[in-house]
Amino acid sequence: MKISVIGSGYVGLVTGACLAELGNRVICVDNDKGKVKSLKNGSMPIYEPGLKELIGRNVRNKKLNFSSDIEDAVGFAEIIFITVGTPALENGEADLTGIEKVARNIAKNINGYKLIVEKSTVPVETGNWVRHTISTYIKDKAKFDVASNPEFLREGQAINDFMNPDRIVIGVESKKAKDLLVKLYKPFKSPIVITNIKSAELIKHASNAFLATKISFINAVACVCDKVGADVEEVAKGMGLDKRIGLSFLKAGIGYGGSCFPKDLDAFVHISEKIGYDFNLLKSVKKINEAQLSFVLKKIKDLLWIIKDKRIGVLGLAFKSNTDDIRNSPAIELIKILQKEGAKIRVYDPQAIKKARNVLRDVAFCADVYSVCRGADCLLIATEWDEFKKLDFIRVKKLLNRPIIIDGRNLFNPKDLVKSGFCYASIGRKSA
Ligand SMILES: NC(=O)c1ccc[n+]([C@@H]2O[C@H](COP(=O)([O-])OP(=O)(O)OC[C@H]3O[C@@H](n4cnc5c(N)ncnc54)[C@H](O)[C@@H]3O)[C@@H](O)[C@H]2O)c1
């Protein structure tokens, strides 16, 4: 099938490359000309495991191309995916100016039947607005359908998630739209959930809000564990083995971040309010997440007392492992809080340093974990990279000024660390 994907970021590039891999012909479009130029030259604007190879192979096989020309892309494709960003406005509302702009551009360039599919995460009712916008600006009487096909991939394992999703959600309002998307997804073995557009839009917001709720729930439980000397890892296991609850997303830590959960939660609260429902539960989820940073700060203060002029080594900048994405990263937030308190920060991340240089000032970016430790008054684990799980503690202890580790991701066994002579604090677990 002939497909255009408008917006070549984490979702657009993975969608385009995977659909090309399945035998479709795909054009990935972006209005950032520099990005398109570098993609054409074979360099990746983002780090996502396996993506460079997948893109390279499909470009060589002439299944995948890049363009900054939306006119060509609309003319070429039968199915057009919209994968532009939908960031949060100051008041929490989703900023849909990118979606509206793309809808207008599609309308102006339509040259025959098109199926326009929202893949970006958008609030319920956006499909109606996309349809209305295209109808308003359409240049001739070309027929079109709008559909919703939310994306559930996770950065760091995006290709596998796209190729083997737990489910494919298709929100449609015509048989033709349904048939086209079912045909496109025929190679997949996953169950397909077919709904109307509004339900599909809500499935995405509700799913992300639910996952964020699980994280905040276990973080709240961790705070209680901390106070009574229980172990949140044991509690999470005991809860999660109940099939109705499940083990995933019950990992206590420094809180959720990234480009999706915080903004999608805000957007869901906002759209609910707009249509007359006060989503108090989600407001609390957000509050608990924000409080988690103060919880970690208190742990650092409990061990260092005064933060001013202390050298703090931080491992991790990305909002989670296996990505270079630092959008709403709790690691970055913590660094900023510590800097405000007067700390001097040394930091290392396997992939995210390049992006972090644009948002952090007066930080020593180090080449590896051990340079971070050199002369630091404590070591803070902020992202759960596998590389950090293999620390040589004898070396770390020699390099640190004081043998203090604050483990914001519960990577290590408290007993082992205390036995090795560290002052060790983690989230919702006794020190030893
Ligand atoms: N990143 C994820 O893990 C993930 C997962 C599921 C869903 N989503 C959703 O998918 C959407 C995209 O997310 P992302 O992380 O890929 O964003 P991103 O910021 O990485 O990519 C968006 C791209 O769209 C381009 N763009 C913006 N306006 C454009 C326009 N008018 N014409 C052409 N290109 C334009 C930008 O230059 C950018 O390259 C968001 O709604 C997000 O919530 C993201």
Parse the chain into domains and list their residue ranges.
2-195, 210-426
Measured CA to CA, the distance from residue 49 to residue 335 in angstroms comes to 26
Query: How far away, in angstroms, is 84 Cα from ligand 1 center?
Result: 4
Which atom of ligand 1 is nearest to 7's Cα?
24
Could you give the percent of the chain with pLDDT greater than 70? 100
Tell me the β-bridge partners of 5.
28, 81
pLDDT of residue 341: 96
pLDDT of residue 141: 80
Q: How far is the CA of 271 from the centre of ligand 1 (A)?
A: 20
* Cα separations in angstroms, 45 against 8, 16, 54, 379: 9, 15, 14, 31
Quick check: 73 pLDDT over 90?
yes
CA of 15 to the centre of ligand 1 (A): 11
The CB of 98 under 6 Å from ligand 1? The reply is yes
**CB 156 near ligand 1, within 6 Å:** no
**Is 358 a residue whose pLDDT tops 70?**
yes
In whole angstroms, give the CA distance from residue 347 to residue 329: 14
| Domain 210-426 CATH class label | alpha beta
- Rounded to the nearest whole angstrom, what is the distance from the C-alpha of residue 85 to the centroid of ligand 1? 3
2-195: CATH superfamily: NAD(P)-binding Rossmann-like Domain (3.40.50.720)
Cβ atoms of 133 and 107 closer than 8 Å: yes
Q: At what angle do helices 232-240 and 197-228 cross, to 10 degrees?
A: 140
Out of 30, 67, 208, give the residue to mutate to test ligand 1, the one with the largest number of ligand atoms within 8 Å of its CB: 30
Nearest ligand 1 atom to the CA of 264 is 43
Ligand 1 pocket, residue 83 CB under 6 Å: yes
What pLDDT is stored for residue 139 in this prediction?
80
- pLDDT tier, 430 (very low <50, low <70, confident <90, very high otherwise): confident
CB of 383 within 6 A of ligand 1: the answer is no
Is the CB of 35 within 6 Å of ligand 1?
A: yes
Neighbours of 307 (CB within 10 A): 20
The Cα–Cα gap between 301 and 307 comes to: 7
Looking at residue 286, what is its pLDDT? Answer: 98
Q: What is the pLDDT of residue 432?
A: 56
Decide if pLDDT at 431 tops 80. no
Which strands sit side by side in the sheet containing 25-29, from one edge to the other? Answer: 64-67, 25-29, 2-6, 79-82, 114-118, 144-148, 168-171, 192-195
Q: Which of 260, 366, 373, 378 is catalytic?
A: 260
Across 383-398, average pLDDT: 96
Tell me, what DSSP letter sits at residue 156? T
Position 140 scores a pLDDT of: 75
Residue percentage of the chain with pLDDT more than 90 = 98
Tens digit of pLDDT for each residue in 317-354? 999 999 999 999 999 999 999 999 999 999 999 999 99
Predicted local distance difference test score (pLDDT) of residue 15: 98
How far, in Å, from the CA of 259 to the mean position of ligand 1?
9
Local confidence band at 236 (pLDDT 50, 70, 90 cut-offs): very high
Q: Is 121 in the pocket of ligand 1 (CB under 6 A)?
A: yes
Q: What is the pLDDT of residues 19-45, one digit of tens each?
A: 999 999 999 999 999 999 999 999 999
Distance of alpha carbon 319 from alpha carbon 263, whole angstroms:
14
> What is the position in ligand 1's atom list of the atom closest to the CA of 102?
31
Q: How far is CA 276 from CA 58, 196, 269, 279, 286, in A?
A: 47, 22, 11, 9, 20
Whether 36 lines ligand 1, by a CB cut-off of 6 Å, is: no
CA 119 – ligand 1 centroid, Å: 9
In 56-201, the DSSP E strands lie at: 64-67, 79-82, 114-118, 144-148, 168-171, 192-195
Work out the average pLDDT over 133-152: 93
Residues near 307 by beta carbon (within 8 Å), at least 6 away in sequence? 300, 301, 338, 341, 342, 343
Question: What is the pLDDT, as a whole number, of residue 147?
Answer: 98
Q: Which residue's alpha carbon is nearest to atom 32 within ligand 1?
A: 31
Q: Is 31 in the pocket of ligand 1 (CB under 6 A)?
A: yes
120 within ligand 1 shell (Cβ under 6 A): yes
Over range 268-282, report the average pLDDT: 97
> 216 near 222, Cβ under 8 Å?
no
Handedness of CA 256, 260, 262, 265 (dihedral sign): negative
For the chain, the average pLDDT equals 96
- Which atom of ligand 1 is nearest to 35's Cα? 39
Q: Are 54 and 159 in contact (CB under 8 A)?
A: yes
81-128 tens-digit pLDDT: 999 999 999 999 999 999 999 999 999 999 999 999 999 999 999 999
CATH topology match: 2-195 vs 210-426: yes
Contact 353, 345 (CB under 8 A): no
Query: β-strand 311-315 against 344-348: which pairing, if any?
Result: parallel
CB 36 within 8 A of CB 70: no
- Which of these, 392, 393, 426, 396, lies nearest to 409 by C-alpha position? 426
* Residue 260 annotated among the catalytic residues of the structure: yes
What average pLDDT does the segment 205-216 reach?
A: 98
